[in-house]
Amino acid sequence: MSDGKSTNPGRCDPNFGPSFPFFFDDNQGSSMCNISVGHQDYFGGGGGGGSGGGASYMSFAGYLGGGFDASACSPSDVISASIDQQDHVTVAGSSSLGKGAAGETSESHPVSPNSSISASSSNEATMTEEDVDKGKKETSGKNQQEGCGDDHEAQEKLTKKVDEKANKKKEKRPKEPRFAFLTKSDIENLEDGYRWRKYGQKAVKNSPHPRSYYRCTSQKCTVKKRVERSFQDPSVVITTYEGRHNHLSPAALRANATIGMLPPTFLMPPPLSSFGHNIFTHEYFMGDQLFASTPHEPQVHDPVSSMFHRKLEARQDSEFQFPDHGLLQDMIPSFQNTQQP
DNA sequence: CGTTTTTGACCTGCGC
DNA sequence: GCGCAGGTCAAAAACG
């Protein structure tokens, strides 16, 4: 479609807002957690991106490996949560922000107050097979069809693939970390700094809105994302990222090249640097804060971390309701449980 | 001409 | 085992 096709690095869409993730990490198959989140709000300019915190607190950005670059923009609100089975949970809500560390173009966008949403995650098996799947599918579908024996090579390949599949199945492949976030926006394609190629679209049960599947266009990068609208609130876009980027986002590269002054924290992992702006700057809640009563002390001090605290406070009074059913609930079934008594 | 989107078909997992 | 729903593939079309 439009050129940015799916997402164009570093560009801002006038209507977008990043939202926050809720992230799940399926690794180990455990399960997930919940999250809740919030409401619309807005935190003005903060700075930049962030590292999620200390060692044990990895931001979703970190998880993704780079996930987002929000250099993009955003106007809308975000609502989201992310989770990581291990010890972190992140949630967010969001809205617009000012300039990020990355500089880029953003100007501050006014934010509009919006809704409240909550989420929880259940990832489960839903997507975990993907990585492996890819190979599988390639093999399976096609090969079966072609198996007529056109060519030995083809057959051999097939066989190999099949074997690989079998092995993988047995091995039980690790699940890719995932995180999702809700964004209140008219636009479905969030500008997250990476380039995505759409590889499928599917109608979703109980929802008039189709779900789109995207893959990172970078070579060897297996990150995928799914984008769909909440059927209950069409203005809410649910974006789910899966996997971690193994490269810098085009936007991040650009920003770094231009700025060249970012603190190490930002530059280190590709992902983090990319997050520098929108997302982090908006609201981001650390999991422990959500689930535990102990205040979280960021191990790494950075603007973002501090920001989390402030934001969190701001949000405590929010009322979380999760209007969505179906899709969202699938992702976030227990959202309500996370709410504070 | 290269890249991305569209879209129908196929595959897989899950519940009944 | 069957049907359903989700996810992916890949040919064709569209786009720049």
List of domains in chain A: 182-248 (2.20.25.80)
The spacing between the Cα labelled CA in A140 and the C1' in B15, in angstroms, equals 24
Residues 23-42 of A with CB under 7 A from strand B: none
The spacing between the Cα labelled CA in A107 and the C1' in C3, in angstroms, equals 52
The spacing between the Cα labelled CA in A119 and the C1' in B4, in angstroms, equals 32
User: Which residues, in sequence order, are bridge partners of residue A174?
Assistant: none
The pLDDT value given to residue A199: 92
Q: Give all strands (DSSP E) within A40-184, no chain letters.
A: 77-83, 89-94, 116-120, 177-184
Count of beta carbons in the 10 Å neighbourhood of residue A254: 19
Instruction: Tell if A161 CB is < 7 Å from nucleic strand B.
Output: no
pLDDT per residue, tens digit, chain A (341 aa), is 433 334 433 333 334 444 444 444 444 433 333 333 333 333 333 333 333 333 333 344 444 444 444 444 444 455 555 444 333 334 444 433 333 333 333 333 333 333 334 444 443 333 333 343 333 433 343 333 333 334 444 444 444 444 444 444 444 445 566 777 788 777 777 677 788 999 999 988 888 888 999 998 887 788 888 998 887 777 888 888 888 787 777 766 666 665 554 444 333 333 333 333 333 333 333 333 333 333 333 333 333 333 333 333 333 333 334 344 433 444 443 333 433 44
Count of beta carbons in the 10 Å neighbourhood of residue A304: 29
Tell me the CA distances in angstroms from A28 to A160, A284, A333, one per residue in order. Answer: 27, 25, 20
Give per-residue burial for A274-302: e unless 16+ CB within 10 Å, then b: bbbbbbbbbbbbbbbbbbeeeebebeeeb
Tell me the CA distances in angstroms from A10 to A168, A175, A275, A276, A340, one per residue in order. Answer: 37, 29, 11, 11, 37
